Amino acid sequence: MLKAFYYLLVRDLRLAFRSRHELANPLIFFVLVVTLFPLAVAPSEDLLRVMAPGVIWVSALLSVLLSLDRLFKQDYEDGSLDQLMLSPNPLVILVLAKVSAHWLLTGLPLVLIAPLLGLFMYVPDEALGVLVLSLLLGTPVLSLVGAIGVSLTVAVNRGGVLLSLIILPLYIPVLIFGANAVDVASDGLSVRGQMLFLGAMLALALSLAPLATAVALRITASR
Amino acid sequence: MQRFSSPKHFFEMSAKLIPWFAVSALLLGVYGFYMGLFVAPTDYQQGESYRIIFVHVPAAWMSLFIYVVMAISAAIGLIWQIRLADTIAAASAPIGAWFTFLALVTGSLWGKPMWGTYWVWDARLTSELILLFLYFGYMALQSAIEDQRTADKASGLLAIVGVVNIPIIHYSVEWWNTLHQGATVAKFDKPSMHIDMLIPLLVLAVAAKLFYATMVLVRARNEVLYRDRNRRWVRELIEKL
């Protein structure tokens, strides 16, 4: 079981590294969207500092959303998804491996580049750590919950907008606590509560979302 | 159970039930609106405009109630493979979305004279709006998948995921609101309700439930006929006409 998890993880990572340009796309998108805000609003420091947590979090959210397609689309099209479902290993573990690979390829880079964007948006130095930590706890939830949505829509033609429609409402709690943590940290207050909430949501998503994803994949495959 | 949930049996049973639900919804509705709009006393703070709660509050209650009904029947459909339950879930979604929309519209119409603005990012308004989006997502997924069985199962799972998320969304929105806004909107302390206002409100809440029962049966009947359009019992029914 653990072996299956490991092999699938390595497979997905290897496949992703074979097409490196695709790997960078969500990251560039993330930086690009954040860059749009100073251009659209005004490059004033006070304004950007107020908006920073929300802008960075919303951009991260959209970036994960756009990259979700990668999670199952290719496997669905070339038939390896069916093979995975036929394998004797529990589907939940395989789903977990795929989601982990997805997070390592999209979520983690976002976390790592976030401090740079924090500087762009004049986030105070003492809040940069909180920004990184909140993204570190929040982005896995985005990948896990997103996996449910992708597995439901992977067989739908042009499912992109549909996917956003069904997934974005479910992302709201993560957005609220993530952005709020950074906001509060900028004022120099304690963010313990927000972090605990993000951690709780991660625990909940980690235990329930793969189950729902497995059921969803079976539904999709049954047609 | 199998016989009870067969489409044909449902079609016959619902024909008998609909008049009862419809008539009692109408009677209670007329009584409730008469009591609420003409008999109930004027509010000492809000004047006559408070009377919109007789539409708003039942609609808001129904919006959540219908989502839960939808998720439960979707779960029944998924677990026991009962198609009728899926049909009920699918038939409920548009009604629930309309109730949610109605709650939002009446809320903002009430908000204009009371708060001086149509829209406030109040915790309840916001979670109601998100609920509307959840309904939209369900309906979009339902209509995007061509195969009916798959569409039912997929959107059913989404409804279940949604119902798990509703409390989380609700409380995080409440938290967000208290953290961000605090006292920008001074909400009146709700005076405990006068009994003459409470009774019409409760009557109307029951009327709204009966109205929903009527509508969901009507919609589900249509849906059952459409889905079974190639089955023998539907053909026989048509030939009889």
The residue type of B112 is K
B232: exposed, middle or buried (Cβ count in 10 Å: 0-12, 13-18, 19+) = exposed
3-state DSSP call for residue A164? helix
Domain encompassing residue A61: 2-220
> Please, what is the average pLDDT of chain B?
85
| pLDDT of res. B130 | 92
When divided into structural domains, chain A yields a total of 1
Looking at residue B181, its pLDDT comes to 45
Alpha helices in chain A (DSSP H): 2-18, 20-40, 45-67, 73-78, 80-86, 91-102, 108-120, 125-153, 160-186, 192-221
Domains of chain B by residue range: 16-40+51-203+216-240
pLDDT of residue B179: 56
How big is the CA angle at A40 (ends A36 and A46), to the nearest 5 degrees?
Answer: 95
Model confidence pLDDT, tens digit, residues A185-201: 888 888 888 899 999 99
CA distance B204 to B57: 9
- Read off the pLDDT of residues B23-71 as tens digits, 9 standing for 90 and up: 999 999 999 888 888 887 777 677 777 788 889 989 999 999 999 999 9
User: At A87, is the secondary structure helix, strand, or coil?
Assistant: coil
Cβ contacts (< 8 Å) between B169 and chain A: which residues? Answer: 169-170, 172-173
Q: How far apart are CA A39 and CA A37, in angstroms?
A: 5
Residues of B contacting chain A (CB within 8 angstroms) = 78, 130, 133-134, 136-138, 140-141, 144-145, 147, 149-150, 153-154, 157-158, 160-162, 164-165, 168-169, 172-173, 175-176, 179-180
| Nearest-by-Cβ selection for A169 from B78, B130, B160 | B130
Q: Which of B147, B161, B168 has its CB closest to that of A173?
A: B168
- Listed residue (B192, B201, B191) closest to B54, CA to CA: B201
Query: Does residue B47 or residue A62 have the better pLDDT?
Result: A62
* pLDDT, averaged across chain A: 90
Per-residue pLDDT tens for B184-212? 444 445 546 677 778 888 999 999 999 99
pLDDT for residue B47: 73
